[in-house]
Structure formats: structure tokens, C-alpha cells
């Protein structure tokens, strides 16, 4: 049973498809989609998280801590990172246990989706999903090695007849299905009904986009996920599940220049000290006078107390206090880019963050918006996550919650 669904599309386009921005990766998009699925959900209802992608930012050490911090979930929640595309995501989702948050995230075409399995403490009807067939066959017509080099056998007929066709027979799929995840264009149209939704991605996230389309229509049917010769088919019921979409209106990717040279090195000691409060958007609060400080300080700025601070979450609504656009070349960073100092909610805290999902130089003092999870930089090969300013005019008409 699917309790809720969330989707995310980055604001930039590359031709017809969405493209990740310079401050995004598979984890930041997973956080955006996951937060949509967890809207109005008690974090304690989430018992585990599964991230399915072929684009893990960190192959050593794991991406779970940053993912949980961005989602606002306890560090004790188990995270499983699974390499795979649409069939892997559908297989995990159809066999998911109560409280499992399944997230698919893809870089090309770019997008992410998330679905929460089960009823949790606030049980609702939900959207039923049952696996009907799983076929694992190998026909590697396209490959990508560890260095990112790709090869393509380029034989659509072979893939259609000896790949997908044979797999569908083995899975017991005889008629046209409601949604096809993993294929586009004519290949998808040949397998799906005339009214099948067009999905913006073809990887692991395509399954969630397909579920979201069915939930919003209030209808069920077979959902087919394919990747080369692998196929998974599930039956989706006609129940109700809320769908949260974070899908900004598309913009052409802005022209920027990447300056060559050595990146700024990371200090792992400083990284470790700031990790939780930065990624969870927290401040230190003085236990004597309640003054907030971000980052937390050893000595209170209000009363001078050196008593241990308590950490509290900061609001995400902000107003631009000051802004500047940087054109000076910085090694390892794309220019131009805009930095803003924002006033955080009704607190006295001000943060320095960069502008996201809008063209450099397009924001002004007094503009309101939201802090969103983004990748600040890559230092010594380590993704350095934090928050960025998303202007309100980029969210007002595009973010919505749909109750099916």
C-alpha cells in the first residue's frame, strides 16, 4: 500500500529533458522528492529509506547521512543504497514493508520521485500495489563503466524482440499496460494504452512519476518497468494517495563558465563539526537567554554564557537582506553566481547562501523565498551539502499538493 507520493524536477532544461543544476546531484533531488512525500507525515512513521539510482555521489562511505539529514529523519533510520533503474525501483516498492520510503533519483533525464509504503500511525486507505511478475535477463545493449564511458550496441529491433518482448512473455504481460516506466516515445507507446501518461524520466524515478499520474487520475492498472531485458510488472489499485509535486516551470540552462584549476580543499574536521547543524538547518540556542546562533558558538552572543547550547530547527521561510553576483573566476566553480544574506523567519539569524533555480542576478533585496537542500560545492571529492535560496516567485504557481 502506498501512503503518499512525491516528485521533483530540476528547473533547468537540456533540449526536451530536465537537467541538473551545478548545485544538484542524486542526493539533493532525492531529498526534494522525499520531502514532498513526507509532507504531513510523522517522521517516526518512517522505518527505513531505500535510495535507488545509478548516480551515487559517494561510492565510499555512503550517502545515507546526508540523505537523512536533508529529509529531517533521525540518524538511526536504516538506509539502503541500491544500484538500479526502473525495474529495481518497482521491485523494491512492490515488496516494501510498512514505513519504507522508496526514492528513485536520476541525472539523465534528471528527476526524482519518492513513495512511502504503508499506513503508519495515521493509517489511511492508500494506493495498493502488488508485484505480478519479475524477469531478470541480460542483454547489455548500452553500458557505462566506472569512469562514465558509455557504449551503445544500437540495435532497437534486437532489444524489442529479444529483450523486452521475450521478458514480457515470461512476465505474463499480454495486453497494453496503464504506464510504462523505463522507455520513451514509440517504444513506450507500443506497450501502453493510448491514454498512458508521458513520464519525464526513464530511470529509477520513472516508477514514482507513473504512480503519481495514476493517483492523480484516481485509476489503477498495470505498471510496467523495463530496462534493457529486465522487466517488472505490478498491479496498481484505484485507491487514493496524496501527491506532492516540486516541479518548477522550466528555464533554459544559464550560460556559465567553469574555471579550471585545483578545487578548494576540504577540512574534514570542520566538515564533521558542522555536518548536522548545517544539513539539518539547526541553530544553537543559549539555555540562559535563548539567543540563537548559527553556526552554534561556544560563547553566547547575547549574554556571554558558556553553558552548553541546545539545538533547535530553523524555519525555512526567508527574506533577502543583501545580495551580490560574483563574476570573478574561482577554480572549480561556475561563474557567474549569486550570493544572498537572508533573514531567517522571525528569528535574528541571518545566513549566507547562494541563489538556486533562478538566473544569476535575478533576485533583489526584500525578495522572499525558501531555503532548500542543495550541494554547495565538491571539496576534495566530497559533496558539501547545505542550503540555498529559492525565490518565492519560482514556487508559488508550481509547487502543489494534490489529494487523489
Answer yes or no: are the C-beta atoms of 119 and 3 closer than 8 Å: yes
SS3 for the chain, per residue? CEEEEEEEECCEEECCEEECCCCCCHHHHHHHHHHHHCCCCCHHHCCEEEEEECCCCCCCCCCHHHHHHHHCCCCCCCEEEEECCHHHHHHHHHCCCCCEEEEEEEECCEEEEEEEECCCCCCCCEECEEEEEEECCCCCCEEECCCCCEEECCCHHHHHHHHHHHHHHHHCCCCCECEEECCCHHHHHCCECCCCCCCCCCCCCHHHHHHHHHHHHCCCEEEEEEECCEEEEEEECCCECCEEEEECCCEECCCCEECCCCCCCCCHHHHHHHHHHHHCCEEEECCCCCCEECCCCCCCCCCCCCCCCEEEECCCEEEEEEEEEECCCCCCCEECEEEEEEEECCCCCEEEEEECCCCCCCCCCCCEEEEEEEEEEEECCEEEEEEEEEEHHHCCCCEEEECC
* Domain 2-250, CATH: 3.40.47.10
Domain ranges of the chain: 2-250, 257-281+316-402
Q: Given this model, what pLDDT does residue 143 score?
A: 84
| pLDDT tens string 330-376 | 888 899 999 999 999 999 999 999 999 999 999 999 999 999 999 99
Q: Given this model, what pLDDT does residue 62 score?
A: 93
Distances (CA, A) of 240 to 1, 2, 39, 175, 212: 10, 9, 16, 25, 10
Q: Given this model, what pLDDT does residue 403 score?
A: 38
| pLDDT tens string 364-381 | 999 999 999 999 999 888
Q: Given this model, what pLDDT does residue 261 score?
A: 83
- pLDDT at residue 401 greater than cutoff 60: no
Name the more confident of 238 and 373: 373
Intrachain domains 2-250 and 257-281+316-402 with the same fold: no
Cα(113)–Cα(102) distance, integer angstroms: 8
Percent of residues, the chain, with pLDDT higher than 70: 96
Q: Given this model, what pLDDT does residue 171 score?
A: 85
Cα(225)–Cα(281) distance, integer angstroms: 36
| pLDDT tens string 78-116 | 999 999 999 999 999 999 999 999 999 999 999 999 999
Question: Which cell numbers in the block locate residue 55?
Answer: 548516480
Residue 192 CA neighbour count, 13 Å, CB half: 26
Q: What is the mean pLDDT of the chain?
A: 91
Answer yes or no: are the C-beta atoms of 393 and 248 closer than 8 Å: no
* Domain 257-281+316-402, CATH: 2.40.50
| pLDDT tens string 171-207 | 888 889 999 999 988 888 889 999 999 999 999 999 9
Cα(170)–Cα(161) distance, integer angstroms: 13
Name the more confident of 149 and 39: 39
Amino acid at each position: 500500500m502506498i501512503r503518499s507520493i512525491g516528485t521533483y524536477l530540476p528547473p533547468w532544461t537540456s533540449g526536451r529533458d530536465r537537467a541538473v543544476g551545478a548545485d544538484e546531484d542524486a542526493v539533493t533531488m532525492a531529498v526534494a522528492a522525499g520531502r514532498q512525500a513526507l509532507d504531513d507525515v510523522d517522521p517516526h512513521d518512517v522505518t527505513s529509506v531505500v535510495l535507488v539510482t545509478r548516480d551515487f555521489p559517494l561510492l565510499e562511505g555512503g550517502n545515507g547521512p546526508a540523505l537523512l539529514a536533508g529529509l529531517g529523519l533521525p540518524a538511526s533510520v536504516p538506509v539502503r543504497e541500491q544500484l538500479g533503474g526502473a525495474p529495481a525501483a518497482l521491485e523494491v516498492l512492490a515488496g516494501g514493508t510498512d514505513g519504507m520510503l522508496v526514492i528513485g533519483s536520476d541525472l539523465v533525464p534528471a528527476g526524482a520521485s519518492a513513495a512511502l509504503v504503508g499506513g503508519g500511525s495515521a493509517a489511511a486507505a492508500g494506493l495498493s500495489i502488488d508485484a505480478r511478475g519479475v524477469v531478470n535477463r541480460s542483454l547489455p545493449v548500452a553500458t557505462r563503466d566506472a569512469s562514465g564511458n558509455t557504449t551503445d550496441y544500437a540495435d532497437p529491433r534486437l532489444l524489442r524482440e529479444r529483450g523486452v518482448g521475450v521478458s514480457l512473455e515470461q512476465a505474463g504481460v499480454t495486453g497494453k499496460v496503464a504506464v510504462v516506466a523505463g522507455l520513451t516515445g514509440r517504444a513506450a507507446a507500443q506497450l501502453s494504452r493510448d491514454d498512458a501518461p508521458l513520464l519525464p524520466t526513464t530511470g529509477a524515478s520513472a516508477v514514482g512519476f507513473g504512480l503519481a499520474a495514476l493517483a492523480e487520475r484516481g485509476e489503477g492498472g498495470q505498471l510496467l518497468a523495463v530496462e534493457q531485458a529486465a522487466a517488472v510488472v505490478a498491479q496498481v489499485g484505484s485507491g487514493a494517495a496524496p501527491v506532492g509535486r516540486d516541479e518548477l516551470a522550466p528555464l533554459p540552462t544559464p550560460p556559465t563558465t567553469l574555471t579550471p584549476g585545483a578545487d578548494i580543499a576540504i577540512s574534514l574536521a570542520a566538515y564533521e563539526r558542522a555536518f548536522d547543524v548545517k544539513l539539518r538547518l539547526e541553530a544553537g540556542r543559549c539555555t540562559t537567554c535563548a539567543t540563537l546562533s548559527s553556526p552554534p558558538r561556544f560563547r553566547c552572543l547575547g549574554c556571554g554564557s558558556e553553558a552548553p547550547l541546545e539545538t533547535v530547527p530553523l524555519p525555512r521561510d526567508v527574506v533577502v537582506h543583501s545580495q551580490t553576483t560574483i563574476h570573478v573566476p574561482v577554480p572549480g566553480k561556475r561563474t557567474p553566481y549569486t550570493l544572498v544574506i537572508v533573514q531567517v523567519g522571525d528569528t535574528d539569524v541571518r545566513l549566507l547562501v547562494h541563489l538556486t533555480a533562478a538566473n544569476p542576478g535575478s533576485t533583489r533585496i526584500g525578495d522572499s523565498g525558501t531555503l532548500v537542500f542543495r550541494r554547495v560545492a565538491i571539496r576534495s571529492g566530497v559533496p558539501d551539502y547545505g542550503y540555498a535560496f529559492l525565490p518565492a516567485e519560482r514556487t508559488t504557481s508550481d509547487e502543489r499538493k494534490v489529494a487523489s
